[in-house]
Structure 1
């Protein structure tokens, strides 16, 4: 089975350019998985349902399930990007 390929990716954001919409609670659409990849620094991923948190760093991406409410909080200087998939991706 081949690895899932993202069908779309966001631009690379830093702590200054990270959109307000991503800092507030939001979710992906039905059938869409999001993988948050930190390129530099640290980012806190917080899920509202089910509740939880994960500190993301380079090499340690975060998975957002379809329609799962969540938000992100930069932990100082960082660079990150989100990849979107229409099938559940495997994370390292």
Structure 2
């Protein structure tokens, strides 16, 4: 089972960086798993366009170089784990 090589700090609706709220992507060969620890977060994939509501127990997977952004929907806490291979969860 894949283990993350790095994780972001835990962010809330006030500390979530603007860079994560705007279009961005993971690097080549890097998968991201967006974990909501409390509350709800909306994940938007840019192309092809899709949206997913993330909650505790329902993380969001971001493939290498996949453009995406997140939107808060009220109070929440979240963290992103980064992997060098496809994670299983």
2:26 matched to which residue of 1?
28
Q: For structure 1, which runs of at least 5 residues remain unmatched after alignment?
A: none
List per-residue Cα deviations over 1:53-73 (Å, max 9, x = no partner): 000000100000000000000
CA displacement, residues 31-64 of structure 1 (integer Å, 9 cap, x when unaligned)? 0000000000000000001210000000100000
Deviations 1:3-55 (Å, cap 9, x if unpaired)? 10000000000000000000000000000000000000000000001210000
TM-score (norm 1): 0.95
> What residue in structure 1 maps to residue 58 of structure 2?
60
Provide the alpha-carbon RMSD of the alignment: 0.4
Q: 2:88, 2:5 → 1: CA distance? A: 15
After superposition, where does 1:1-92 map in structure 2 within 5 Å?
3-91=1-89
5+ residue gaps, structure 2, are none
Give TM-score scaled by structure 2 length: 0.99
What SS class does the counterpart of residue 22 from structure 1 fall into?
A: helix
